A = this chain, B = another copy of it.
Amino acid sequence: MLSYKYLFDIALILISTKLLGLLTRRYHMPQVVGALLAGLIMGPAMLNILKETNFIHQMAELGVIVLMFTAGLETDIQELKKTGKASFVIALMGVIFPLVGGFVIAAFFNKGEGTTTSLIMQNIFIGIILTATSVSITVETLKELGKLSTRVGNAILGAALIDDILGIIGLTVIISLADPSPEVNIWWVLLKIILFFVSSLGIGFMFYVLFNKWVKRYDRDLRRFVIVSFVFCLLLAFAAEEFFGVADITGAFIAGLIISNTERTKYIAARFETMSYILLSPIFFASIGIMIEMPKMSGSIIWFTLLLLAIAVLTKIVGCGLGAKFCKYSNKESLRIGVGMVSRGEVALIVASKGAAVGLMSGVMFGPIVVMVVVTTIITPILLKLVFKNSSSKNAGHEAAAINV
């Protein structure tokens, strides 16, 4: 017979993320902090009531896809085009700084076994891990603050997307260096990424034209619009992973962008918001906390952890911030953009486990990386709230009012 435990799990996730979300909100922190903490508290790191099951894991995957799809739907595509070049510079600087920073600090601490070459590779890999950005936390926070469709919000979204691409390239390069089998070929990876964007552009344009024509034939909101949009999102997310080796959330975001300019976008976005907040989002944010098991650490590794954490936070703020500054963003905006890129979330963990699988990371490094991920993930929304204080965008009142938590 089946187990019905999953009903209890979902109930526990929903109530704990909501309660802690309302609590963090009362103390002027974003609700997403509460949701992350709820997962951390219920998970193996603390109370151990919730374990990550396959079901929760896949619901969480679906959750982040819907989240990025909705972010795409709510993005001002004209604004995003304008910030395109800036996003690239921000992403590039936000990759170089953590890469170098991670390498230097790892080289200082890593006295592991192996040849000099393999040690250097291991140290570069720590740098690669630090380059990963998890944009979902930032997206949710900016939504809560009503700042997603602003100049800063767009710059962050664009930069995070490009960061994702640069991250795949970096990861592929280092793995192809470590693993000389012909399966991993850097040029093939690059070609596939280019092919992905070219074909997304083509398919996206065709879909947009047909969808818009179809939608305009009706004078009211229909459920079928929502279903067809969702199907398009799922297929693009699937195709990104399956055929091009690009992250599924990138596919979902682009699908959202393509549909963001139709007459029924508001109606469609509202429906996905509903599905998100009732079920998928709480599961996704809690699952990040649930995934984490707190490592046991002692001695010099604690110092390494603290330094790694500082490097992780500072290199993103300084790197992305400088990038933004180069592109003529104000000091305030540059700081906001830098802070928005700090969160590492689950992406860094996935990268780390891939590296461990091909022998690029010694086990002792796993603890510091977990701590780095947990702390950057939880402080990003808090820092964002701080750097967005005293701003008076018109958008803020409007978007925030729409959410009756």
Interface residues of A (CB under 8 A from B): 2, 4-8, 10-11, 14-15, 18, 22, 54-55, 58, 61-62, 65, 220-224, 226-228, 230-231, 234-235, 237-238, 241-242, 248, 271-272, 274-275, 277-279, 282, 403-405
Bound: A220/B275 CA distance, A: 20
Bound: A7/B248 CA distance, A: 9
Contact assessment for B224 and A22 in the assembled complex, using a CB-CB cutoff below 8 Å: yes
CB nearest to A232 among chain B residues: B11
Shortest beta-carbon distance from A255 to chain B in Å: 11
Contact assessment for B61 and A10 in the assembled complex, using a CB-CB cutoff below 8 Å: no
Contact assessment for B242 and A405 in the assembled complex, using a CB-CB cutoff below 8 Å: no
Ranked nearest first, the 5 interchain pairs of A and B with the lowest CB-CB distance are A11-B234, A7-B238, A4-B241, A8-B238, A274-B274
Residues of B within 8 A of A14 (CB): 227, 230-231, 234
Most chain B CB atoms below 10 A, which of A231, A242, A277: A231
Shortest beta-carbon distance from A193 to chain B in Å: 17
CB nearest to A404 among chain B residues: B222
Residues of B within 8 A of A11 (CB): 230-231, 234-235, 238
Contact assessment for A15 and B227 in the assembled complex, using a CB-CB cutoff below 8 Å: yes
**Given A8-B235, A58-B55, A403:B223 Cβ within 8 A:** yes
Contact assessment for A7 and B65 in the assembled complex, using a CB-CB cutoff below 8 Å: yes
Residues of B within 8 A of A241 (CB): 4, 7
Interface of A, helix, strand, loop or mixed by DSSP: helix
Shortest beta-carbon distance from A156 to chain B in Å: 25
Contact assessment for B277 and A274 in the assembled complex, using a CB-CB cutoff below 8 Å: no
Q: List 30 A-B contacts (CB under 8 A).
A: A4-B248, A7-B65, A7-B234, A7-B237, A7-B241, A8-B234, A8-B235, A8-B242, A10-B62, A11-B230, A11-B231, A11-B235, A15-B228, A15-B231, A18-B227, A22-B224, A54-B55, A55-B55, A55-B58, A220-B404, A222-B405, A223-B277, A223-B405, A226-B278, A227-B278, A227-B282, A230-B279, A271-B274, A274-B275, A275-B278
Contact assessment for A404 and B231 in the assembled complex, using a CB-CB cutoff below 8 Å: no
Contact assessment for B4 and A242 in the assembled complex, using a CB-CB cutoff below 8 Å: yes
**Given A8-B234, A11-B238, A278-B230, A404:B223 Cβ within 8 A:** yes
Bound: A337/B234 CA distance, A: 40
Bound: A95/B164 CA distance, A: 60
Bound: A230/B242 CA distance, A: 35
Residues of B within 8 A of A231 (CB): 11, 14-15
